[in-house]
Amino acid sequence: MTDDALDPLIHVPTRLKIVATLAALRDGDTLSFTRLQDTIGLTPGNLIIHLRKLEEADYISSTKTSNGTVSITTVALTGHGRKALGAYTQALRDLLGGL
């Protein structure tokens, strides 16, 4: 057992919160950037950086839609991200045993 059993990309508290929040959505559902920001309580700049890291690893996907005046960014967990969270949760469960 090594330390990378706990996915460092998910382990960071803020990203754990982001991934857990997105995982609570039903498959195919997305969350708007502002809603996510409200739920987690982060500044936009901070959230963007964490989302970018997660997107680079293909854990989340983001879509920007614009109707001319207003553009909305929505994010969702990818299948890969859901699997990674599952593995992370399992690793944590193994670690904590029956506690």
Applying CB under 8 A, which residues contact other proteins? Answer: 1-3, 6, 8, 11, 13, 16-17, 20-26, 29, 31, 39, 92, 95-99
Which residues on adjacent β-strands are paired with residue 73? 64
CB-nearer residue toward other proteins: 68 or 97: 97
Q: How far is CA 93 from CA 5, 88, 96, in A?
A: 11, 9, 5
CB-nearer residue toward other proteins: 68 or 99: 99
> Under a CB-based contact definition with an 8 Å cutoff, are residues 14 and 53 in contact?
no
Task: Give least dist CB 42 to other proteins, A.
Answer: 12
Task: Give least dist CB 44 to other proteins, A.
Answer: 16
Task: Give least dist CB 3 to other proteins, A.
Answer: 5
> Under a CB-based contact definition with an 8 Å cutoff, are residues 9 and 59 in contact?
yes
For the chain, what is the largest distance between any 2 Cα atoms, rounded to a whole number of angstroms?
54
